[in-house]
Amino acid sequence: MKPTVLILCTGNSCRSHMAEGILRAAAGDLVEVRSAGSKPAGYVHPKAIEALAEIGIDISAHTSKHMNDFLDQRVDTVITVCGNADQACPMFPGQLNRHHWGFADPAHATGSEEEIRAEFRRVRDEIRLVFEAYAAGLREGRVASGG
């Protein structure tokens, strides 16, 4: 059984879904990747879906979930991508690791449609750098441990 990585944000509408999609694409053969929120928005932001589609990752079937939905499941690693979720995050059964990598919330971007899209792309690219590096570390650890 693959270890589970749970990515948390407050609304589970933008950053956590982008991170989930990117990590699943980069390391899905090594880990199960899920996302949730401390106060789920109830939807995945259309511009987050669009920003990931631009890099070939489809998150259009994702749904917004509450972090408490995972309290009865084994979660090996919790990664928070916003400060509010980091503060609200409970301990999960089996949790071995916890990381906090904060990113700006592109849902709060203002300006023209193109300026807002640019902010989603900027945050997507930051998330991609961090989570692809994390996936590379998982791969190296797997190789080092003989797995």
- Residue 128 has a pLDDT of 98
- pLDDT tens track for 128-138: 999 999 999 99
pLDDT at 84 over 90: no
Say which of 26, 51, 82, 123 is annotated catalytic. 82
Interatomic CA distance for residues 38 and 74, integer angstroms:
18
Say which of 9, 18, 19, 51 is annotated catalytic. 9
Looking at the DSSP assignment, which residues form a beta bridge with residue 78?
A: 6, 98
CB–CB of 66/86 below 8 Å? no
**CATH code of the domain in which 18 resides:** 3.40.50.2300
**Does the annotation count 14 as an active-site position?**
no
pLDDT at 83 over 80: no
Interatomic CA distance for residues 125 and 127, integer angstroms:
5
pLDDT at 10 over 80: yes
Burial 52-68 (b: 16+ CB within 10 A, else e): beeeebebeebebbebe
**Does the annotation count 9 as an active-site position?**
yes
Based on the structure, what is the number of domains in the chain? Answer: 1
Say which of 31, 57, 89, 138 is annotated catalytic. 89
- pLDDT tens track for 36-79: 998 999 999 999 999 999 999 999 999 999 999 998 888 999 99
Q: What percent of the chain has pLDDT over 90?
A: 75
**Better-predicted residue by pLDDT, 1 or 56:** 56
CB–CB of 80/11 below 8 Å? no
pLDDT band at residue 87 using 50, 70 and 90 as cut-offs: low
